[in-house]
């Protein structure tokens, strides 16, 4: 191997974060040809975990390391959201946080790469492709092993939970999560609610924030938030809340207001 190629592989391995994935397409843009990457694989410096995805040989792949590749190298918007993001942010400590499940969100019609889907992750992944919120709004940085990925902030993650309710997440659990969010930034909440395209999410979010009596709620200009028209039934034989035009489970309504 030439001195130049030795320098390139050394530089690549030294800068490769532990647990991270590199995309061969991105590496090609950095000057690492497919022929050179094949040589590295034959020399057992790197190994493939699927078409177009590479890791350091012997390295334990992290889910965050794969998401980092999608976000930073593939310009994707796939991110940890919902209850998973709230758990990472320490906002669901009083609820059971299951590392066996991970909630991921991505943009409308955005697909997870085949290599990502086919990899045997130690947890079950639940992926939702939607455009009910702008892709870049309400994200925050999460540091892992010297690299950073974008995950949903607490306000956005709460709205993602409500997006999944009541079919894929119980409304009572959503309210228990909402109760812990007493320090949200009003400006961000306002922007998220104003741009959110889901009437259900907006109505539930405002109802639960009102029920929880959060101190940031008076700073939200609800006149600027469109709640649509018509009733929304979110529970059979529930209780109708006229202020927000939603029918919710009795056990959620009967909790002390």
pLDDT of residue 88: 93
N- to C-terminal Cα separation, the chain: 72
pLDDT of residue 257: 44
d(CA 218, CA 70): 38
Angle of helix 3-14 versus helix 34-42 axis, rounded to 10 = 80
What does the angle CA 176 – CA 82 – CA 183 come to, to the nearest 5 degrees?
55
pLDDT of residue 225: 98
Instruction: Split the chain (257 residues) into runs of 10 and give each run's mean pLDDT.
Output: 68 94 96 93 96 95 97 97 95 65 96 96 96 97 95 98 97 95 97 98 98 97 97 95 96 73
pLDDT of residue 91: 86
Q: List Cα–Cα distances, 202 to 45, 180, 238, in angstroms.
A: 50, 18, 19
pLDDT of residue 95: 57
């Amino acid at each position: 191997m030439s001195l130049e190629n030795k320098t390139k592989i050394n530089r690549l391995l030294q800068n490769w974060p532990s647990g991270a994935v590199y995309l061969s397409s991105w590496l090609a843009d950095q000057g690492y040809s497919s022929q050179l990457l094949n040589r590295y694989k034959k020399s057992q410096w790197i190994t493939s975990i699927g078409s177009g995805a590479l890791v350091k040989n012997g390295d334990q792949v992290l889910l965050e390391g794969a998401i980092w590749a999608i976000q930073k190298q593939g310009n994707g918007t796939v991110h940890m959201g919902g209850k998973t993001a709230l758990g990472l942010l320490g906002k669901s400590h009083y609820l059971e946080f299951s590392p066996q499940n991970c909630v991921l969100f991505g943009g409308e019609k955005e697909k997870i790469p085949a290599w990502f889907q086919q990899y045997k992750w130690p947890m079950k992944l639940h992926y939702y492709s939607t455009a009910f919120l702008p892709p870049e709004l309400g994200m925050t940085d999460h540091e892992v092993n010297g690299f950073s990925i974008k995950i949903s902030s607490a306000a956005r993650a709460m709205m993602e939970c409500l997006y999944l309710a009541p079919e894929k997440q119980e409304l009572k659990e959503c309210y228990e999560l909402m109760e812990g969010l007493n320090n949200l930034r009003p400006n961000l909440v306002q922007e998220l609610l104003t741009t959110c395209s889901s009437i259900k999410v907006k109505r539930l979010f405002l109802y639960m924030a009102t029920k929880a009596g959060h101190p940031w709620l008076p700073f939200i200009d609800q006149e600027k938030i469109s709640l649509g028209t018509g009733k929304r039934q979110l529970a059979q034989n529930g209780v109708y809340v006229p202020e927000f035009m939603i029918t919710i489970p009795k056990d959620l309504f009967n909790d002390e207001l």
